[in-house]
Amino acid sequence: MADPMKIRANLVGDSTEVKVLMSHEMETGQRKDAQGKTIPAWFIQKVNVTHNDKVVLAAQWGPAVSKNPFVSFTFKGGARGDKVKITWVDNHDDSRTDEATVA
């Protein structure tokens, strides 16, 4: 299982700003190792973010996203103490879910 995501969720006016740093190798499947063998593709395919069980962001990614991806976005609403939950699933069906409390 991957390392926990680093998540910050802050109230900014009438919006909530979310910043997420995910820990993932994000291999494209096009690089070769020292012996010349192709390194198999391994990347996050789906990202979902919910706020109080309502989807506020849904994304589909491919192999072009960099290692340890960073995502920053805002959504309308939110209040201090609300929960923001982030889930990702990669092409090996590994997944990670973490949550943060809006500050």
Residue 71 pLDDT: 98
Residue 2 pLDDT: 75
**What's the whole-number average pLDDT of the chain?**
96
User: What secondary structure, in 3-state letters, does the chain show?
Assistant: CCCCCEEEEEEECCEEEEEEECCCCCECCCCECCCCCECCCECEEEEEEEECCEEEEEEECCCCCCCCCEEEEEEECCCCCCEEEEEEEECCCCEEEEEEECC
- The C-alpha angle with vertex 56 and arms to 101 and 50, in degrees rounded to 5, equals 45
As a whole number, mean pLDDT of residues 77-91 equals 97
User: What residue ranges define each of the domains in the chain, with the CATH number in brackets?
Assistant: 6-101 (2.60.40.10)
The pLDDT tens digits of the residues spanning 29-58 come to: 999 999 999 999 999 999 999 999 999 999
The pLDDT tens digits of the residues spanning 71-82 come to: 999 999 999 999
